[in-house]
Every structure is written in structure tokens, then in C-alpha cells.
Structure 1
Amino acid sequence: MPASSSSSSATSSRLAQLAVARLAFRPFFLLASLFGIVSMLVWLGFWHGTIVLRPQGGLMFWHQHEMLFGFAAAVASGFLLTAVQNWTGLPSLKGGPLLGLVALWLAGRVLMAFPPGAASWLAAGVDLLFLPMVALVMARLVITAKRWQNLIFLPVLGLLVAANVGMHVGVLNGDALLIRQSAYLAVLLITLLMVVVGGRVIEMFTANRLGRPRVAPWPALATLTRGSTFAVVLAQGLIVLGVALPDSVMLLLLLAAALANTVSLSRWGGLHSGSEPLLWGLHGSYAFIPLGLAMWALSLLGVFRTELAVHALTIGAMATMMLAMMARVSLGHTGRPIRSLPGIGVALGMMLLAALIRSPLLAFFPQITHWTYTLSILLWCLAYGVFLFHYTVPLMSPRVDGQDG
């Protein structure tokens, strides 16, 4: 064997032994949490008149884009690339290839924050490579294992890439409407991911943890819940493409999805989860999905701004569910008992409070906008700071049971 090949093999073996590179949830949960805190502090500075960065597209665009395709994409990728190993029974990305994917994500964040002068296309190009690479890894494992039911995640990731393209094209062409509608599409796509994943696990986690019987399956309701949410995504996709969709159509689809998700959530036993933060955090975050969809419908009637509905989905549903899922996955996949660590309940409560004051409360009292923004940002940072306090060491250490992963 040539010396260079032997050296490369040895390097790959050493990288595979690094605890943080054993499964995707480890580096992506850590980096996403840290990135989220830093990004929100930069956003706080902006609202108080301090310009810390001059990023790609300006700070308004950067905030929208990076919370979706920096923070949320990293958490979702860490979860999906870890879960796909369980779904398929095949080893997922680890070692050098995983760290290479992490480096690609990091390069996108650096270039978006510090764009290389006139070559603004470079930041867009590097950023746009990340999600397709995640989708390719998932596709290879799902198709090899013939786990066809998990192919649902691939078109969602593909549409997320399309939404990201729309945001970048919008900023490069100075098209604010395209930026906004593409960002809305991304929010709804991540909402669809939460509906699919939440529908699979929240009721199961609740029944198993509390020792309660599982509810009888209702396939028609599950189909209606996913289908109506997907219909909202499809309608928003048509809007991004320039189709003049009547507001009444979008309004009816949003209300149907809100109702279906409400009925689904009501069957999962959330009222019995009050003593388990990792459970009520999931139920509470999922409740913001129908709330956000209903608020979106009301915004089409001119009741309040659509961005309030968007923040119900992004803070109340997305960021809170991600925190609850990361807290759970980071214990189970490092061989530790799944339990609520001290302060995690407080952290989840702070996220739900941040969502309440940033969305429904602000809808009723728009005059308190400035301090509402400040308080919600600080609550977010404290909540994710609690996560980093508890989980940084476990995520960077080998499994306590000696197994791989």
C-alpha cells in the first residue's frame, strides 16, 4: 500500500474515533445551539442600534436566512442523519466525511456573515451546497435499505433547497418579495417536517414514559394532518413561482391544517405530561403549529402582520421543539438515561414564553414591540445556554455504555 494511502487511512481512522464525529447529532447540535445564541445576540445589538456585522444581504436578510438555513438546517440535519441510521439499520455519516459536512456548513456561515466583497455569489454557492449533501447521504441509506416510507424527507429537503435558492436569488436581484415568500416557504417546509416527525414520536414518547396505553391509530386523521400541511406548503410554493393564488384559497388551507393538527395533538395525552418537561415541551411546541397556522390565516384577513404568525411557528414550534428533541436525543444516543436535567424545564418554559410574548401578545399589544423583541431574544439565549451547559461535555465524550455512536 502506498505511504500516502496508508497515511490517509490512519487519519480517517483517528477522525472516526473522535467522540464528536461519531454521529451527526453531536457536532450539529452543539454548533447550532452556539450559532443560534451568537446570531440572536447580533440581532439584539441591531435592534439597539449596534451594527456588529455587514453580512450578505444586510442584517434583515441575514437574520431571516441564517435562523432558517444556518440554525434550523443544522439541527434538522443532525437529527435526520442520526435517525436515518435507526430507520435503515445502516451506518450513517461519521468520522472524516461527517466533519467535512460540518466544515461545509461552517464555511457557509462564515461567508454569509463576512461576504467576500464583489463575489457575493460565492457565499450563496457554498451555502447552497449543504442541504443537497445531507439529502444525498439520506437518499443513499434509505434506498439501499429499501425503507421507502422514509423517502418523504427527501422531497422536503429538495424543496428547502429551492426555498434557499429563492432567498439568494432575491437578495442578488434586490427582489424583497421573492426573499419574503421564499422565507415563508422555508418556514412552512420545516413546519411540515415537524408535523411528520412529531406525528411519529410525540404520542409514542408520552405513552411509553407515562406507562399509558397508546391511542388507537386513526390513519385518516394522520393522512389529513400531513396532507393539509403539505397543501399549505404547495400553495406557498406556487406563490413563490409567481402564481396569483387567491388569499381565500390559502386561508382555507391554513385553517384546515390548523384544525387537523389541533385534533391530532389532542389525542396524544399532553394533559398528562405536566411532570415531565421533555414531554410537555414537545406538546407545547407542537401546539404552536396550529396556533401559527391559524394566525397566518387571520393575517390574510388583515387582523395583524403575517410575521407574527411566522414567529409563532419559528420560536414557539421550531426552536422549542428542536430544544426538546435535542435534549432527548443527546441523552439517548450517548447511552444516558432519558430524563429532564436540572433547568431544562425552565429552558423550555423560557422558549414558550418567548414565543408567547413575540407572537400572540404582540398581536394584541403592538405598542410594546421594542421591549418584546429584547425580552424574547434574551429568553432564547438563556434557554439554549442551559442546553449548552448540560450537554457540551456529553456530546463531546464517548457513550457511557461503551457502544459506538
Structure 2
Amino acid sequence: MTNSSVSATFSYPFRVFFLATALYGIAVVIAWMSYLFGGIPLPLGWTSLHWHSHEMLYGFTSAAIAGFILTAVCNWTGAPPLKGGKLLALVGLWLAGRLSLWTASWLPAGTAMLIDGLFFPILALYLLQLLLRHGNQRNLVLVAILLLLGMGNLAMHWGFLTGKTAWLVQGEQLAFGLITLIMIVIGGRIIPAFSRNWLRQRGGNEGAVKSSNRTDAITLILSAAVIPVDVWLGSGTVAALVILAAAAANAWRLWSWSGWLTRAEPLLWILHLGYAWIIAGLLLKGMAALNLIAPSVWQHALGVGAMGTLILGVMTRVALGHTGRALTLPTFGVIIYLAISIAALSRVLAALGWINYSFGLMLAASGWTLAFALFLLLYWPILTRPRIG
């Protein structure tokens, strides 16, 4: 990379963190498939299954969260972006955490926990001081979510150090609940707004995209309630009812956004599809709480389906808009969306036992890798070059 490319890449958080998200998403999945099907050992120091879940939830997803929130906070507050050396330091901390998790068996006990445990608290404190300085109380909930994610991360590390699986499971469950809540909060802000704006520009029926403070409040309360239900109940009829109520509220919310009106615009329908995966994940989670299906089904519906789809949907749009480019998906960009959809569907079907397990995993890994590799191919020039205009 030239000096101008490096300068552009570190001029705004979304640029470098979106590239890191895609690169790490590919690396983790290739490593996991190599372990499962190639028997290639890694000096992880963790049980391989929990390492995989930790790095997808607290590694891969954390980069996407940082890239989006650190960019969005500039719009919320009018503050200048984190850039240059300070941004490099934060990215370096994230990368150090990832390296410590890949080489934990080579390091003194607790080293990975110490290094990796710093990222979420530092990110939360930076966001907190920006919001307070600019009087933006509305988004303080995201600070609380980031701090709780930090606690969940430490819980998984503690489970590894002590050998207590319960801590690993609790940290994993907390991540799923909190990341899902982030998607619901952010999705509720951007999906109807983007859809409404697009319809207005084309003389469409923007009034068909409906938002209600009451619906939003009910949805957020029920979705947040799933988190303590996971911690205190785990499964059973009461847990299932809460989870299914959250699914129903989110379904009503999505329906009110009239996503079918955006079917001509891939940058929009992918966001509606990603939100639909949240609903599917919650429905499957409710079924798992009743012991009707295995937990791995809902975990992959949320992990590959909702998180994978929404992360790509947001990254492909934000990267265009925030670099001054037209909101038009690059040529062949729709393949990104098709590939992640194939990955999500095949992974869920494999977990359900409806298709051959090994075939389903390989198809899911291939679709996932293709989606993020194509994102890198198409968006690397966009993210590493100066803003247009």
C-alpha cells in the first residue's frame, strides 16, 4: 500500500475495521474447516469448539461493531472521526487480542485474557466520553451493551482458565443475546429510514414504511428480556414464551417496514433479509428452549444468517456512502449476498440434519468465504482510496 492508501485507510474507523472484519471472517472459517476436515492442529490452548465460537462472536463480530459504531457516532454527535495513530492503536489492540487467542498455548496462563479483555472496555469508554461531551444520551445504551460484551468475553476466558464449561457457555450465550440486541437496535434505525428515503427519491409510497415508538419499545424490551432469560432460565416453557414473544414482536416490526417494496434495490433488500434471519433465529431458539431442536440450529441462524448477512449488508452500503460514492452495488456485488444466503441456509439445514452434515458445513464455509472474499476484492479499492468529492 502507498502512503496515500495508508492515510486513507486510517482516516475513518469503518475503512480499516471493515477490511479487518472480512479478512478475519475468512481466516477463522478456513482455520476451522482445516481443523475439522484436515486435522490441522492449532496452538490454541482452548477447546477448539469454544475457540471457534469465541472468535466468531468476540473476534470477527467485534471488528464489525467497532467499525460501524465508531463511524455512526460521528453522525450522532458531529465529532471528528477517530483516525491516524489513535485508530491504529485501537486496531492494533484488536489484532493483539486475535493473535493471543491463536497462540494461547504458547503464552503464560491468563495472557490472552489480559490482552483480549481490554478491547471492549476501551471501545465503550471512548464512546461514552464522546456521547457525554456532545449531550447524546439516546445512544448510551450502546455503551452498556459494549461493557456487557466485555464481561461476556472475560467469562469465556475465565471458563478456559478454570476449566469450567458453564462460564464458557454463559459468555457465549451473552454474546449471542447482546449482538442480537445491537442488530435490533441499529436495524430499527437504519432499515426503515433507508427504505423510506429510497422510495421518496423514486416517487414510491414511502408512507408504507411504518415505524412506531410503541412497537419499537415493545420489541426492544422483549428482545432485551431474552438475555436474562438465557442466564437464569436457559430453557423451559417460560423461557420459550419470552423468546417467541420477542420473535413475534420483531416479525411485526419487520412487516411494518414493507421490505418487499425495496426488492429492486439489493443494498436495501439485503438488510430486510438480514433482519428476517433474526426472527428465524429467535423462533428456532424458542423451539430449542422446548427441547424440540438442538441449540446449534438457532446459533447458526443468528450467527451465519443474521450476523453474517447484516454485517455484509451494512458494510457494502456504508463503504459506498461514506466515501462519497453513489449508493449502487458494484458489478457482481449481488453475488456477495447470494453467497452469504447459501452459507446461512446450508448451515442451518445441516444443523437440523436435513442435509448431509459434512456437505452442509463445506457448502456453508464455501459460501461464507466467497462472500467475504468478494467483498474484499470489490471494496478494497473503495476503502483504501480517498473519499470522492
TM-score, normalising length from structure 2?
0.94
1: CA distance, partners of 2:315 / 2:264: 19
**Greater mean alpha carbon deviation, residues 143-152 or residues 268-277:** 268-277
2: CA distance, partners of 1:112 / 1:388: 24
Mapped contact 2:44–2:51 kept (Cα < 8 A): yes
CA-to-aligned-CA distance 1:76-110 (integer Å, 9 cap, x gap): 00100010010001113111111000011111111
Task: Say yes or no: does 1:362 pair with 2:350.
Answer: yes
Q: Kindly report which structure 2 residues correspond to 1:18-33, keeping only aligned pairs within 5 A, or say none.
A: 18-33=7-22
1: CA distance, partners of 2:82 / 2:45: 30
1: CA distance, partners of 2:277 / 2:198: 23
Q: Which amino acid aligns with 1:37?
A: I
Equivalent residue number for residue 215 of structure 2: 221
Aligned to 1:22, the other structure's residue is in SS state coil
Aligned residue-pair number: 382
CA-to-aligned-CA distance 1:32-62 (integer Å, 9 cap, x gap): 1001101111111112132241213132221
Task: Say yes or no: does 1:141 pair with 2:134.
Answer: no
CA-to-aligned-CA distance 1:102-137 (integer Å, 9 cap, x gap): 011111111110126351311111001011111111
1: CA distance, partners of 2:121 / 2:81: 16
Of 212, 221, 232 in structure 1, the residue corresponding to residue 226 of structure 2 is: 232
CA-to-aligned-CA distance 1:218-251 (integer Å, 9 cap, x gap): 2111101111000101222xx2xxx456622211
Equivalent residue number for residue 391 of structure 1: 379
Of 99, 102, 105 in structure 1, the residue corresponding to residue 94 of structure 2 is: 105
Equivalent residue number for residue 338 of structure 1: 327
2: CA distance, partners of 1:218 / 1:337: 30
Q: Kindly report which structure 2 residues correspond to 1:260-299, keeping only aligned pairs within 5 A, or say none.
A: 260-299=249-288
Identical amino acids, percent of aligned pairs: 37
Of 319, 322, 331 in structure 1, the residue corresponding to residue 308 of structure 2 is: 319
Mapped contact 1:184–1:310 kept (Cα < 8 A): no
Q: Which runs of 5+ in 2 are unaligned?
A: none
Q: Which amino acid aligns with 1:232?
A: V
How far the C-alpha of 1:17 sits from its partner, in A, is 8.1
Mapped contact 1:15–1:21 kept (Cα < 8 A): no
CA spacing shift, 1:379–1:16, aligned 2, 3 Å:
closer
Q: Which amino acid aligns with 1:105?
A: W
Q: Which amino acid aligns with 2:373?
A: G
Task: Say yes or no: does 1:94 pair with 2:115.
Answer: no
Q: Kindly report which structure 2 residues correspond to 1:2-151, keeping only aligned pairs within 5 A, or say none.
A: 18-115=7-104, 117=106, 119-151=108-140
2: CA distance, partners of 1:162 / 1:111: 18
2: CA distance, partners of 1:244 / 1:216: 35
How far the C-alpha of 1:387 sits from its partner, in A, is 0.5
Q: Output the aligned Cα RMSD.
A: 1.8
Equivalent residue number for residue 373 of structure 1: 361
Task: Say yes or no: does 1:382 pair with 2:373.
Answer: no
Q: Which runs of 5+ in 1 are unaligned?
A: 1-13
Aligned to 1:148, the other structure's residue is in SS state coil
2: CA distance, partners of 1:356 / 1:367: 11
Mapped contact 1:93–1:137 kept (Cα < 8 A): no
